[in-house]
Structure 1
Amino acid sequence: MLKEDNFLESSRSNKDRERRKMQGHNRAAMPKRIILMRHGESQGNLDDSAYTTTPDYKIPLTQQGIAQAQLAGDRLRQVVSDTDSPNWQVYFYVSPYERTRSTLREIGRSFSKNRIIGVREECRVREQDFGNFQVEERMKVIKQTRERFGRFFYRFPEGESAADVYDRVSSFLESLWRDIDMQRLHQDPSNDLNLIILSHGLTSRVFLMKWFKWTVEQFELLNNFGNCEFRVMELGQGGEYSLAIHHTEEELTEWGLSPEMIADQKWRACAKRGDWNEKCPWYLDGFFDHFAHSDENVDNDDDDCQIPN
């Protein structure tokens, strides 16, 4: 019996050491920043009728969109090359749509080749599918119906709902973490890795929703990204990502985050990984706000209860 106990204890110790080793490895390999960026102004942003004659994935950038992308490249470089990170690298994921690919080409002018360790076209971060060619008059009615039905769950005829986009973004995130864990990005652990995901407005908001475990109601509070706007998720001291490290509270408010969501972002900036469940009263209150806070309160309530005859 003693030998068996010693064996079990040794086995647990080995597992604990292996787990600590893996956690240390993952922490070192984790990107310093994950940056979500929307494409530059497209012909479809300028004129809705473009969608009636040109497939959505072929819609090009305008000249203004090209200029926006060039400026955005300079801004991105400033973000990832801060004074604390002399050794930094970037890895790009890009939607296969023409407007995102063209935006990436312009952004790339701001980076030397030795800083870019990879570019991957990723179909799962493409735009929400609105249903082949879009008839302008029909789309007006459809979008009015979406507002009444709910923006997240409404599925466009022959297209997708935001919930459908959520499913494929969830799949992408699983693949992303496998790539990081298995060193498929070929990053140097001694360098700061910056993942830049060049996508679309709704897809980027859904990404944030999935990452931060926001509810459907919280998602629907969010404002869309402007053309070539980006959101910086930066790795905090305890291993959690937060929008509140790079961005101000005023920016978060402007983007539609509620006070509770902003408080959570501030907490994440210093929180340890795995502690989230201990710090989510705002989430629990969404379901259990009318319940007592402790068993003692429940007992007191029972004392006051009058059982009918």
Structure 2
Amino acid sequence: MEQLHSLTVVRHGLSTGNVTAQNAETGGAELIDIPERDADVPLAPTGREQAEAVGRHLAEHPPELAVVSPYLRTRQTAEIALAGSGVPVVVDERLRDRELGVLDLLTARGVQARFPDEARRRERLGKFYYRPPGGESWADVLLRLRALLREIREDHPGGRVVLFAHEATVLMVRYLAEGMSEADLMALARRTTIANCSISSWRGEDGRLERELFNSVAHLRRADAPPTRQEDVNAEPV
């Protein structure tokens, strides 16, 4: 099967939910007080500025197709980044964020307090295979990503494709593109915080995808771009 020319993954910009969740975690709360359902959480003002910076970066090497998670924050990121570019945009439900089921809107403290048995089960099974009641494991998400990426390769051989998605998606695309093991993926997840509007990219080379960028925020640090306003962002060098 012919490989893509390039595959780029952009995490959505800073959302109002990201801000609320961080405040809840640092404040010791059990619940994350977000009024919207997860699919309807919008970008924060900083997230919109970050999306504009992504647009300036993508304009240097325009993609031929954008595939976007249906969640509002990812659609807004793509709309801002691709404004006026003419790049076709396809919304695909397989790029949605991981569903957390009964653990939705709970902080780490909230999970321990309200679902101690689930916390123990997650510890025993590990993040890769643990599926919260009503939710998805990482392996579940990988199944839909495998199907999506295969379809993209078949429909756009030699194409330049950008995905606008979520934090876990970036890690899982790397797992699939580079043939990582479960242990490799979990170690990467422990040491890496995927930044809002970070860019990760791979280039097709001899039938495989070779990494170019991973969790890069260089475009957000330019003189004409807003600061990331994030702490604890670890961009792994390539």
Same fold (TM over 0.5): yes
Tell me the residue number matched to 1:38: 11
Determine the structure 2 residue equivalent to 1:92: 66
| Map of 1:122 onto structure 2 | 92
* Structure 2 runs not aligned, ≥5 long: 22-30, 218-233
- 2:53 alignment counterpart: 71
CA distance in 2, matches of 1:176, 1:208: 16
Q: For this pair of structures, how many residues does the alignment match? A: 203
Deviations 1:40-90 (A, max 9, x none): 001111012556532111111100111111111112222x16xxxxxxx52
2:196 counterpart residue number: 227
Say which SS state the counterpart of residue 67 (structure 2) adopts. Answer: strand
Equivalent of 2:144 in 149, 165, 168 = 168
Residue 56 of structure 2 aligns to a residue whose secondary structure is: helix
The structural deviation recorded for 1:92 is 0.1
Q: Which residue number corresponds to residue 225 of structure 2?
A: none
SS at match of 1:219: helix
| Separation in structure 1 between the aligned mates of residue 137 and residue 56 of structure 2, nearest angstrom | 34
For 1:242, the equivalent position in structure 2 comes to 210
**1:232 alignment partner AA:** S
Distance 1:54 1:112, change over 3 A: closer
The question of 1:180 aligning with 2:150 is answered: no
TM-score (norm 1): 0.58
State the structure with more CA Rg: 1
> How many angstroms apart in 2 are the aligned matches of 1:35 and 1:210?
13
Contact 2:16–2:44 (CA under 8 A) maintained in structure 1: yes
Q: 1:51 to 1:158 in 2, by over 3 A?
A: farther
Displacement of 1:155 after TM fit? 1.2
Query: Partners of 2:79 and 2:197 in 1: how far apart?
Result: 13
The alignment's TM-score, normalised by the length of structure 2, stands at 0.74
The CA RMSD over aligned residues, in Å, is 2.8
Contact 2:68 2:78 in 1 (8 A): yes
Question: Aligned pair in 2 of structure 1 residues 64, 215: CA closer, same or farther (>3 Å)?
Answer: same
Q: Find the aligned partners of 1:149 and 1:72 in 2 and give their Cα distance.
A: 37
Identity %: 25
**2:142 and 2:33 mapped to 1: Cα distance?**
23
Q: Which has the higher contact order (CA 8 A, sep 6+)?
A: 2
Partners of 2:112 and 2:90 in 1: how far apart? 35
- Distance of aligned partners of 1:247 and 1:178 in 2 relative to their CA distance in 1, 3 Å threshold: closer
Distance 1:94 1:60, change over 3 A: same
CA distance, structure 2, for counterparts of residue 140 and residue 62 of structure 1: 29
Superposition pairs of residues 291-302 of structure 1, within 5 angstroms = none
